[in-house]
Amino acid sequence: MAKKAKVVKEKSIEDRIWDSANKLRGNLTASEYQNVVLGLVFLKYISDCFEKRYNELVAEGDGFEEDRDEYTAEHVFWVPQDARWQNIASQAHTPQIGQVIDHALEEIGKENPRLKKVMPNNYSRPEIDKIRLGEVVEIFDNMDMHAQGEGIDLFGRVYEYCLQNFAAETQSSGGEFYTPSCIVRTIVEVLQPFEGRVYDPACGSGGMFVQSAKFIQQHQGNLRNVTIYGQEFNANTWKMAHMNLAIRGLEADLGDSWGDSFGDDKHATKKFDFIMANPPFNMSEWGASRLADDVRWKYGVPPEGNANYAWIQHMVHHLSPTGRIGLVLANGSLTTTTGGEGDIRRRLIEADLVEGVIAMPNQLFYNVSIPVCVWFFNRRKKNPGKVLFVDAREMGMMVDRTHRELSDDFVRYDTVKKEDKPWASLPAEECDVQRIAATFRAYENGTLEDVKGFCKVATIEEIGKQDWVLTPGRYVGIADEEEDAEPFEEKMARLTAELGDLFAESHRLEAGIREKLAGIGFNVKEEGV
């Protein structure tokens, strides 16, 4: 009789990345080998996209498979012959593999000007063990990145996964947190950036831009109606954002280099229609002393010890006359009075710029447990003199022991299968992200009714009476418990009957266990016998 073939579950991209990271563990720090791995992910991805287009042209039989224009016309990066993955993989187990990869990346950068400044390099440096590097290349060799699906926020997934797994090893995140996709999705669904200038002054790997593009595509919008601007302080992350957007064919102005949005504003003269950001939480020593007279501090000079209100005012400064902001901050920003922050918050509220505040659930971020909120600002509010408060702290569900996510009706678009997350096929009105977005739309339309424990529209006067505190729970209150209409006598009769049934079942199971144990020679004595 023939042996039954063993079914082997195909590993995910994340699992393979972790396997490759484990190969490099030991002679590189976590931050170093994550950059090595991410560079190879990018190289493999564009190589697979090129190969897919190459095979299509071969099948057409017109001899255009080496015509550069046939690739660029389809937003596929041209890959020179000696930079193609097959050439790299064939030399995986040679001492020159580092040089081979560096050469490939250099050649791709030369042929694709958009990538010239952002291509990773220096795989040939002595610190990288070439035997282990070759083993990593081998892991990637049998992985078809392109087959994972177009439109996936591949780099976002990879970056999020790296942060989650590498944070414990680095012992420090440097204030850099990849924004969970459900938070980004919430901001995008509320703002609905269909057209205009979109800006993120702390853009990370470009997740806000990717989600905005997805939103537009899902609603049959035109990406050409949106222009993207951003800035990022971390050099490696700035490069990753370029790569992330390049893979998707998205054009963006992220500045001529990485830089500090406060001290080196790459878009100082520009105004934007939509600003979405998750800046570093509670950042200290951000340069306040050098910028004391900055034009951006219209509502007050932010304190040196915390940049939260510097970020807020930087974004408000860059708003167009009809612009809107969606901003993730630590919850402390809603109540603080330190260093004049309370006065700045009061002036922003009195200027009628604050449109709404959402208190988000805990444990949404992979590598930080700090409670967060989302602020919304609007220069042209449809409901002047009012602010929407949403308490979403009880929303979402735990997907593992430490991580919570908000449900989203578009979650399957982001590659999640129904069996992985039970809400993947829920109707929109039952999904957390869509419920929050619908609440904001009803508020804007003037049709929203307050829901105790969830949402409340408050006037500026009411907020003033609360000492300008913006904590949603202070306004929405606590949801009423459902009234128990069952008469006491009937309830007790029902519960005692149910308890009697449970006791009877317990005795039956106990007797069965005693019988089984006795059958193998073990008698359990009853208490008191």
Q: Supply the CATH number for residue 427's domain.
A: 3.40.50.150
Residue 160 domain flag = no
Residue 8 domain flag = no
Pairing of strands 372-378, 319-330: antiparallel
Indicate the SS3 state at residue 87. helix
Note whether 475 and 404 are within 8 A (CB): no
Residue 493 domain flag = yes
Q: Which of 459, 476, 493 lies at the terminal end of a domain, its last residue? A: 476
According to DSSP H, which parts of 318-431 are helical?
Answer: 341-350
The CA-based diameter of the chain, rounded to the nearest angstrom, is 94
Q: What is the pLDDT of residue 421?
A: 55
Structure tokens belonging to residue 200:
């993120």
Claim to verify: residue 221 and residue 355 sit in the same structural domain: yes
Indicate if the alpha-carbon torsion angle 404, 406, 412, 418 is positive or negative.
positive
Note whether 293 and 333 are within 8 A (CB): no
Angle at which helix 154-170 crosses helix 30-60, to 10 degrees, equals 160
Closest CA to 216 of 170, 263, 250, 169: 250
Q: Is 108 exposed, middle or buried (0-12, 13-18, 19+ CB in 10 A)?
A: buried
Claim to verify: residue 286 and residue 368 sit in the same structural domain: yes
Claim to verify: residue 398 and residue 471 sit in the same structural domain: yes
Structure tokens belonging to residue 141:
């060799």
Residue 187 domain flag = yes
Instruction: Find the radius of gyration of the CA atoms of the chain.
Output: 28
Q: What is the pLDDT of residue 436?
A: 96
Structure tokens belonging to residue 99:
């040089």
Claim to verify: residue 415 and residue 293 sit in the same structural domain: yes
Closest CA to 151 of 358, 331, 415: 415
Claim to verify: residue 466 and residue 524 sit in the same structural domain: no
According to DSSP H, which parts of 25-153 are helical?
Answer: 30-60, 69-72, 85-90, 97-111, 130-141
Claim to verify: residue 59 and residue 94 sit in the same structural domain: yes
Report field, pTM of the whole predicted structure over 0.75 = yes
Helix-, strand-, coil-residue percentages of the chain, each rounded to 5 = 45, 10, 40
Structure tokens belonging to residue 80:
């020179």
Closest CA to 470 of 306, 371, 355, 303: 355
| Residue 173 backbone phi and psi in degrees, to 5 | -100, -10
Q: What is the pLDDT of residue 523?
A: 76
Q: What is the pLDDT of residue 340?
A: 96
Residue 38 domain flag = yes
Report DSSP state, residue 292.
T
Does an H or E element contain 377, and which? Answer: strand 372-378
Claim to verify: residue 509 and residue 372 sit in the same structural domain: no
3-state secondary structure 126-192: CCCCHHHHHHHHHHHHCCCCHHHCCCCCHHHHHHHHHHHHHHHHHCCCCCCCCCCHHHHHHHHHHHC
Alpha-carbon gap, residue 180 to 185, rounded angstroms: 9
Residue 161 domain flag = no
Indicate the SS3 state at residue 277. strand
Q: Which of 98, 128, 148 lies at the terminal end of a domain, its last residue? A: 148
DSSP 261-278: TTTS-TTTT--EEEEEE-
Alpha-carbon gap, residue 127 to 79, rounded angstroms: 28
Pairing of strands 226-230, 252-253: parallel
In the block, tokens 């995008």 appear at: 188
| Residue 319 backbone phi and psi in degrees, to 5 | -75, 140
| Residue 87 backbone phi and psi in degrees, to 5 | -65, -40
Structure tokens belonging to residue 433:
């992200």
Strand partners, 450: none
Claim to verify: residue 278 and residue 333 sit in the same structural domain: yes
Claim to verify: residue 44 and residue 191 sit in the same structural domain: no
Claim to verify: residue 84 and residue 127 sit in the same structural domain: yes
User: Please, which residues have CB within 8 angstroms of residue 302's CB and are 6 or more apart in sequence?
Assistant: 288, 308, 309, 310, 313, 339, 340, 341, 344
Domain membership of residue 472 as a residue range = 181-476
CATH classification of the domain holding 67: 1.20.1260.30
pLDDT, tens digit only, all 529 positions of the chain:
455 454 445 666 677 777 777 777 766 776 677 778 878 888 888 888 899 899 999 999 999 999 999 998 888 889 999 999 999 999 999 999 999 999 999 999 899 887 888 888 889 998 898 998 998 899 888 776 655 554 345 555 665 566 556 644 544 444 456 688 889 999 999 999 999 999 999 998 888 898 888 888 888 888 889 999 999 998 888 988 888 888 777 889 999 999 999 999 999 999 999 999 999 988 988 999 999 999 999 999 999 999 999 999 999 999 999 999 999 999 999 999 999 999 999 999 999 999 999 999 998 886 567 889 999 999 999 999 999 999 999 999 888 777 788 988 655 434 444 445 554 555 666 789 999 999 999 999 999 999 999 999 999 999 999 999 999 999 999 865 545 556 676 667 777 877 777 787 777 777 777 777 777 777 776 655 4
Claim to verify: residue 199 and residue 83 sit in the same structural domain: no
Q: How many CA atoms lie within 13 A of 433 on its CB side?
A: 24
Q: What is the pLDDT of residue 413?
A: 39
CA dihedral angle for residue 296, residue 299, residue 305, residue 306, rounded to 10 degrees: -80
Claim to verify: residue 396 and residue 356 sit in the same structural domain: yes
Residue 77 domain flag = yes
Number of domains in the chain: 3
Q: What is the pLDDT of residue 7?
A: 46
Alpha-carbon gap, residue 281 to 264, rounded angstroms: 19
Q: What angle do CA 42, 252, 106 make, to 5 degrees?
A: 40
Q: Which of 128, 148, 168 lies at the terminal end of a domain, its last residue? A: 148
Residue 366 domain flag = yes
Residue type at 151 in one-letter notation:
G
Q: Is 202 exposed, middle or buried (0-12, 13-18, 19+ CB in 10 A)?
A: buried
